[in-house]
Every structure is written in structure tokens, then in C-alpha cells.
Structure 1
Amino acid sequence: MAFRYLLDLPIELRQQIYTFYLDSLALTYPDLLPSLLLVSHQLHEEASVTWRLSWPTAHFKFGGIRHLLRFLTRIKNSTLCKLRHVSVINLALDLSPDSSNLFDIWFDPPESPKPFANEYERPRHIFDLHDLLPLFPGLQLSTLTIYDPFYGYQGAYHQETACHALGGLVRSQGWKELIYLVRHDWPSSPADSHGLPQPSTWDALIKQRDGIYSGAGVQIFGIDTAKRRTSMSFTFPTDGQETSDRDQRYEHVEVQLTRGRGVDFVQEGGKCNAAIEYLFQYYSWK
């Protein structure tokens, strides 16, 4: 029997098609609703159940931490805990309080905050992803992929951006495997690596958390234009000698952080950055 239209098919076959379409679907914020659900009221009603069941296999992509937070704060905890695959560009959350001076409130919070004299006096406070994850208890991502803000650009790149982010994320919860992608300006000389945390430090931290023999650890790979992966030097140079990795022509560098087997990586609540709680107690934010 031939069928011309989707709605001519039996409901059982339509549900199989919905499952096939929605399985491992990649969606980019703000268009996080599959186009199938926007075709008609009937398709929306029929496919919505399948869509909710498909959340553990769907991949949600965000252009910055602000977008990710906007999404996470608008979904229920029962839905949040079903997220498994998220990727985000590591553009930190840049906030400004609407009055007074940010420095003063650390020591003497004013009872009646004074307005800023002008916009240039407005202080800023920047929160990284690891600061904000405790706001979402129950988060349990199988993979969290983070693109450095300079990923894909050939201009100047500050090594501190990746190293600071990884230093905080290696101590965070809410993910099983974390992949951090940077363009190939990964330190390869003593001048590049001056003052930066060593990958061996991150590896030691995650092994200390989960156990030396748990499978937890850090790996670094260079990816060339043909998508070939090469294991990179695990320690930044400190002896005045450049590493052999300098001779490799990598398109980007991938840092993998993996939690140990059987560990509880579900994000807990109640351990938010004290600075965030303190600031929001006295000020509204824009």
C-alpha cells in the first residue's frame, strides 16, 4: 500500500519516524524546538512525547554562557536532569550592578545604594561557567563540549583564557566527560607557558577526586586539517627548550577531562560561589 502524506501513515509508523528524526538531533539556541513540532498542531501533539524522551540523545548548542543560563533557568528540574549533551562557547557572563560601587560591597554593603554618576563608573563582574553550574542541581551531562572564545580565529590568543577555565572546570560537577577546544596557540615554549597551570596539575586533581585507577584523567590531542589526532606533550615546557609539537601543523587542540568509572558526577546544590550569592543579595543586575 502506498502513502502520499505523512498523516496517511498509521500512528505506529509515524511514531517510528518521529523517533528516527529526533534521535541525536542537534539544535542551536534559540531554535531549540525541532521544526517537526512546528508543522501543525497534530504533529506537535503526536511528536512532543517522543521529543521529551529524546532529550538524553539530543545535542544542545549555545553561543555563549549567557544563552546557556537563559535556557537552563527556564526549564524545570525534572527536564534539566535529562540533558546529556551540551556544547557552549566559553563567553563568560559579564554583569553590571545597577548602582553603587562594586568594590565597596565586599566589605561594607550600603543600606541605600547610590546611583552611578555615569555609565563609565559602572563596575563589571565576570562569572565563568564553573561559577554558575551549582545554580543547577541535578545537572548530569554525559558530554560537555566547550569552545574557547577565540576558537577558529587566527588573531591574538591569550593562553590564560583556556587555562583559567580548565582550572575551575576540573573541580566542578555536572559532567562526565568535558572536551575543551582551542585553536593551536597551546603553549609550546617556556615564554608561552610562563605562569600557566600545568596539565599535569589538572590530571592529578581529577585522579585525586575519583581514584588513580578509576579511569579519570586528562588527555591533550592536536587535530590537523585532515582531522587526524595526535597525542600532544602533557607538560608545558619549562627548561628553555621548545617542544616538538611546535613543528606540527594542528588546526586546533582538544583537551579531554574524564571523570572516573562509577563516580557520582551529578551537580549538587547549595555550594554556589559565595560572591554570586553576596552580590545578588544587595543588587539587581542587567
Structure 2
Amino acid sequence: MLAPSQINRWRESSSDYKMDAPNLLTIPVELRELIYGFLFSGYNIRHGFKSSHIPDDKSESSNRIALLLTCRQVFAEAWRHLPLNCTLHFRGTENLLDTLLSVDQSVITRIRHIRVRAFPFPLYASGRAEYYPTYYAANALTLLPGLCLDTLVVEDCWHGFGMGDGWRDVTTYFDIETLLKSAAWKELTYITPCTDFIASGYDHRRKRLAQPETWDEMIKESDGAESGATVKMFIVLYKQEKATGDERTEDGRIMQPWAAKPGHEVIENWRVAGPEQDLKGEVRIVARRGKMARPVQLGLSEKRTWKELKGKEGGFVPEDWKPYHNDMADAMGWLYGGWGRRMQLANSALNS
């Protein structure tokens, strides 16, 4: 009987075997398309981090991308499936703009999954760093017309870095609301590491409302009451042994439904507070668009680099954009006069 090594050598020397050996290009193209989609699903590409490319499975990372280098036919067939199935993870809003304003429109329209930390982004119209308007992260999406995301995951940039500035609670709240009003996504998940964005008492202008019911009504009014559009709020308790619920985070933690009254109302009248108000943990706002909604970002048609947009003489301020100080007039001194404080917060978050 031949040893396995002898059989392998016989197969390699057999012309008949070589001619009949199956390979990727011998199977139907429909099956190859399924393989490409499966190969790139769950694949993460990071931009702006110290290590720019850290996929979930390091051992398989090179093999996935190496497929694109095998031959021209495979490249032509497979590259289109990369933006459709991978997740682009950006360190911050400006990293997102730096990257996506430099790619072709055909790539923008095929991107389906983005994760980003929602830093407000400045436009340096005057060239002076100590004075500039600062805009919501949601406004950045309007610079990417044709963006049509299946999932958009946004991380809160204002909490979780040891800062105690009260204004961050209000800015996080409006970050969430402006993202809910944007049109570039089918499913939005906003992640903030604590309940302060709504449960703290710092809201003397009474801008924050009871949630998630108000946001749920807002999206139903936009997409239709019977469309299936929903906004839900979950809490991931710090002490998981006390958590209850069927839904889980990507790393297996339990998410339980959560609702909250604005903090100032609770302080003024403790009777309005429910038992949920005392819970502590990471909060996730999960929004899904309705069946008939058009999750396509129409946005602006100007195709310029982020550097050109920031440096445009006279500034680059579309009429429907509102900087933070328009929503919080009393915060102008913090955003402008307190420039060093804001940079301290941003640097702490970016370097974490």
C-alpha cells in the first residue's frame, strides 16, 4: 500500500489530476459571489487608530485580503463585496471624513456598515484654533451623498474619560437627536457609557425630554405609524448578575429595556422617578427605520477633500447646519473661551 506522501506525489505528477482539480474559478459565479460575501462579513477595517488595521481574527486577516491579489478576475468579482460586508471603524468624525471624501462615489454608495466615535467637528474658517464653529457629527454625513448604511454604530465622545463637565450631558443628548433625524442608515445604535446624558440634573433650559418614547414618536411621525419604525433604549448594567433580558451586546452582555425621565424633573419632583432611574450602566439607543423609509443620504454634492472644506475662505456652513452654541447659547464661553478644556477632553478620549 502506498504511503500518503507517495499518493500526493503521484497526484501532483498526474496530468489528469491537474486537469480535473477543482478551484475557485471552476464553480458557478453565483456561488463565488456567496463566498465573497461570507468571507468579508464580520471583517473590521480601522482608520485613525494607532494600529490602523486590527480585524477580529488576526490569524485570518491576511488570507481574506490576499484573495484580492490572486488574479484579475477574482479581484474584479470580489472587491465589490468588501465595502458591502465589512465594517469601517473610524477613530473619530474627522477620520471618517478624511477617508470617505477621498474615495470614489461608487465606493460610498456600497458601504453598508460604519462605526465611529462622534466627535463634533470644527470648520476653521478663520484659521484661528481658539475660535471656530463646532458642528454635530450627524452633519458630517451630509458631506457624503449616496451613503446608504445598513448599520451605523456611534460611540459617545463626551463621557467615560474622567471628565466632569456638566455640558457634556446636553451635548450627548443632542448628538443622539440629530443622528435620529439623519437619513443615512437603516439601523442606528448609539452607545454611551453611563446614564448621565438624560438622568443628570444638569438641564436648566429643560431641553431633554422623557425617552425613548419621545424619540419613538418622532421617528414614527417621520416614517409612518404603521411602518415598523422604532426607537428603543437599553441599559447594560455594570453588575451583570442583576441584569435581565433577551437581547445581548456583540460581546454577550445582557441588554435590558430602560426608560428615563429628564434629570431636572426628578430633582424637582421625586415622584416622577421610576425604579429604572436608579439603574447604572452603559446605555444603548437602538433605532430602526420603517419599511417604506428611504435610508439614503442626499446631502451635498460638492466633492472636495476635508482639508479643502475646512480651509474654504469665508467658511463652509450649509444653511441647515446648526453649531452647538445655537442649541446651547450659554455654552459659547465653554466652546470658545474654554478651548483648552475642550481639547483636553478630545485628547483624553482619542488617546484612551
Scaled by the length of structure 1, the TM-score of the pair is 0.74
* Distance in 2 between residues matched to 1:261 and 1:246, nearest whole Å: 32
* CA-to-aligned-CA distance 1:260-280 (integer Å, 9 cap, x gap): 1121121113499xxxx9994
Residues 136 and 168 of structure 1, relative CA distance in 2, 3 Å threshold: same
Partner Cα separation in structure 2 for residue 169 and residue 38 of structure 1: 32
Once residues 215 and 256 of structure 2 are traced to their aligned partners in structure 1, the CA distance between those partners, rounded to angstroms, is 20
The answer to whether 1:228 aligns with 2:254 is yes
Residue 10 of structure 1 and its aligned partner are, at CA, apart by: 2.8
Task: Indicate whether 1:87 and 2:111 are aligned.
Answer: no
1:114 maps to which residue?
Answer: none
Answer whether contact 2:199 2:261 (CA < 8 A) is retained.
Answer: no
- Structure 1: how far apart are the matches of 2:111 and 2:182? 17
Name the structure with the higher helix share: 2
CA–CA distance in structure 1, aligned partners of residues 256 and 158 of structure 2 = 21
**Maintained 8 Å contact 1:221/1:232:** yes
**Quick check: 1:216–1:261 contact (8 Å CA) kept in 2?**
yes
Tell me the residue number matched to 2:173: 163
1:124 matches 2:132: yes
Residues 1:17 and 1:41: Cα distance change in structure 2 (over 3 Å): closer
Match of 2:275 in 1: 244
Residue 55 of structure 1 aligns to a residue whose secondary structure is helix
Q: Output the CA distance in 2 between the equivalents of 1:67 and 1:55.
A: 17
| Alignment correspondent of 1:53 | 81
Match of 2:39 in 1: 21
Matched residue, 2:228: 215
The equivalent position to 2:283 in structure 1, one of 253, 269, 285, is 253
Aligned-pair CA distance for 1:62: 0.3
**What is the distance in 2 between the residues matched to 1:40 and 1:140?**
26
Unaligned segments of structure 1, at least 5 residues: 100-118
Report if aligned partners of 1:134, 1:268 keep a CA contact under 8 Å in 2: yes
- Structure 1 residue 185 corresponds to structure 2 residue 195: yes
Q: Distance in 1 between matches of 2:25 and 2:301?
A: 46
- What letter matches 2:262 in structure 1? F
TM-score by length of 2: 0.62
Q: Separation in 1 of the partners of 2:197 and 2:43?
A: 35
The answer to whether the 8 Å contact 2:170/2:197 transfers is no
Deviation at 1:12, TM superposition (A): 3.8
Q: Show the counterpart of 2:327.
A: none
Whether 1:145 and 2:153 are equivalent positions in the alignment is: yes
Output one character per residue of 1:26-69: Cα deviation in whole Å (capped at 9) or x when no partner.
11115469644765984375456313223222111000000111
Question: Where does structure 2 lack aligned partners over 5 or more consecutive residues?
Answer: 1-6, 13-20, 56-60, 241-252, 303-308, 317-352
Alignment CA distance shift 1:283-1:94 (3 Å): closer
Aligned residues: 257
The structure with the larger Rg is: 2
Q: Is the 8 A contact 1:18 1:47 kept in 2?
A: no
